[in-house]
Amino acid sequence: MDSVEIRRRRIELTRGDITTQAVDAIANAANEALRGGGGVDGAIHRAAGPGLLDELRDRYPAGTPTGTAVATAAHRLPSRWVLHAVGPVWRGGGHGEAELLDGAYRSCLRLADELRARTLAFPAISMGIYGYPSDEGARIGVEAVARHLGGEGTSLEVVRFVLFSDETYDHFAVALRETDVSD
């Protein structure tokens, strides 16, 4: 596991299954409709059980736009909350994808603070079926978290990127090494 410390807070990288993380909140790489899907989204919905979809339908019938996130209970997951972040589909880089991906991460971090979460786990948002380039996607995620942890007033103590493949882990490890985490 790779990690760095920022103002007595930590960013961690690990390989694994985000649905098994015993943290306050996990982020979900969701779609705008918030109705489940494939990849991380499907795995989270399967592990959480049908109550998650019921809550999403009741609380967010219109879904949420790309670049934003919403919170639900975690249902049968070992965390307390799920933060459903909608990252962009990669369309070549000229359609605001970087800003939308940064917005998805920042929305989760804000929600975690509103919930007073101390620990948060992220997947590699938009880097699966949405096709976001891995090196750029990892850099955006790590930089968003580093900026947040370096600021004032966050409740977060540990933010962990839970990465499914060795290749994705390697992209995040490079981003972590190259990101300025000085106070």
42-58 residue pLDDT tens:
999 999 999 999 999 99
Read off the CATH number of the domain in which 129 is found. 3.40.220.10
Task: Dump the DSSP string for 71-110.
Answer: EEE-TTSSSSEEEEEEPPPPSSS-SSHHHHHHHHHHHHHH
- The answer to the question of residue 183 being in a domain is no
pLDDT per residue over 26-37, tens digit each? 999 999 999 998
- The pTM score is 0.96
- List the beta bridge partners of residue 121: 26, 160
Give the active site residues.
41
- The answer to the question of residue 59 being in a domain is yes
Region 113-120 average pLDDT? 98
**Could you tell me the residue range of the domain that residue 56 belongs to?**
2-178
- The answer to the question of residue 158 being in a domain is yes
- The answer to the question of residue 119 being in a domain is yes
Number of domains present in the structure of the chain: 1
